[in-house]
Structure 1
Amino acid sequence: MNKKMRKQILAVVLTLVFFVSAIAFAFFSANESNVAYATGGTVVTDPDAMLADRYSPVDVGDGIVAAIIHKPTGLALTNTGLSNVVAEEAVFSDAQLWTFVKTNSKNAYKLVNHLDNRCLDIDSAKTENATNVMIWDDNGLDCQRYYFYEVDGSYCIRPVHCTNDRILDVYSETNNVQIYEYIANNPQQQFAIVVPGEEEEPSSEQPLPEESSSEESSSEEPLPEESSSEEPSKPSDETSSDAPATPGDAGIVVFVILAVISLSAIVVFKKIRRS
């Protein structure tokens, strides 16, 4: 084999090495942010990933009867009797009590209100921001089924049909319940599930007036501070600081691929020189 042909073959091999390396680097760089890691038993991806990708729906109990409390304000999701749902003072009336009915093995729940036995529903099965949350007859659709994600001691509630990361949200100016894009650490989207009997236990221990008044003042003071901190339409400044950094596994993989290709090129070149 003459020198000219050797140079041509070497040029082809080096060109292939360059293009394969460039493709591998581009592929792994684009997917590096999606490398998952485990934390506390929950699979989490990059900070910009959707709620459903960062957390798994939890089992909150099939058949339980409870109120859904907006944690920053202590207000309860309430059936107004006019097909609308708002957040009002928690008194645990039938309008504020919901039966949680599990509808499948993936922890999806139908929420049936005790006032009229109708279901929590997303208006016209829409998925846009600020779509109204309402009450409607049970129709078996995903716009009446909900996933509960446990995030930092609170629940984020996502309608099953909202694959675009819209979750329940209380609009601070009117206390109307709507759906809005998930924003990490946004108090307007944080809820608690409270069984009436469990909520009444602290109030039954009031033999001493002085103790009961101090408990009431301490339980009510933090609520206004949290509710006034953020609005549903504004992202939290803490989003990026709370999310751990993504591991650099992609860089290691690219390095290994380049090393293998380079060694292969050297072997081929040596064989060409010997021939």
Structure 2
Amino acid sequence: MKTPKILVLRAAGTNCDNETKYAFEKAGAKAEVIHINVLLSNKKILENYQLLALPGGFTYGDDVAAGKILANQIKYNLEDEIKNFIDAKKLILGICNGFQVLVRAGLLPSFERFHQEATLTHNDSNKFEDRWVYLKICADTSYFIRREHAPILYLPVAHGEGKFLAKDKDVLDKIVKNRQIVFQYVDENGEDAGYPMNPNGSVLNIAGICDQTGQILGMMPHPERNVDPTQHPCWTRQGLKDSGDGFLIFKNAVQYIKEFF
């Protein structure tokens, strides 16, 4: 495939769609921002894309729960199309609000597809957390991650409901056993740490997980906000890298599509 095609899905309240589009296009893909109403009116257009991206924001004002309304729109209107999309070995990425959507739609951790088995609830601090955090790459079971990456990433978070909790111990044990924990919050030395290094109180410091296939990735930190080296808050003191830490997420996804399709 010469140019992978990415569908960046937006709804009322989405606010990171253009940044996500930019990140994928920087990685060599063609990305299009499409409103959920357009997709619902013509569900077959999903077949034209190899990756579905659910960006950050506050879809529908998070009025019911963060991402819940968009999750229900997907779950009850696009079930067959999403199943076909996954069965075709295509990728899905959910960032922040998009992660919340995937969890509440039952697409992560997805032991029983479209059945909710976890949640992302209010931060332990009871406030909106807007800060930069260190992430440890815990597994390369996701197609968005490759073995050669540096083990620690530096990315921003911006959320009020980012605390990951599994439905019960059995679900959490499966996530751990299957190596579905892709990212954990750590300190600058890569060690487990409490608040504010873990900004929300997530169980096991979970910052991002994938499904069992590795095709679906959800994460609370924002990789699209650190794709250019000048987006790092300390670039003037530490010097410029070739790219921001978050760029690898988009680069790997585009590379996978080029190799597979």
Same fold (TM over 0.5): no
TM-score interval, normalised by the smaller of the two chains: under 0.3
Asked which structure has the greater CA Rg, the reply is 1
Q: TM-score, normalised by structure 1?
A: 0.22
Query: Which structure shows the higher helix fraction?
Result: 1
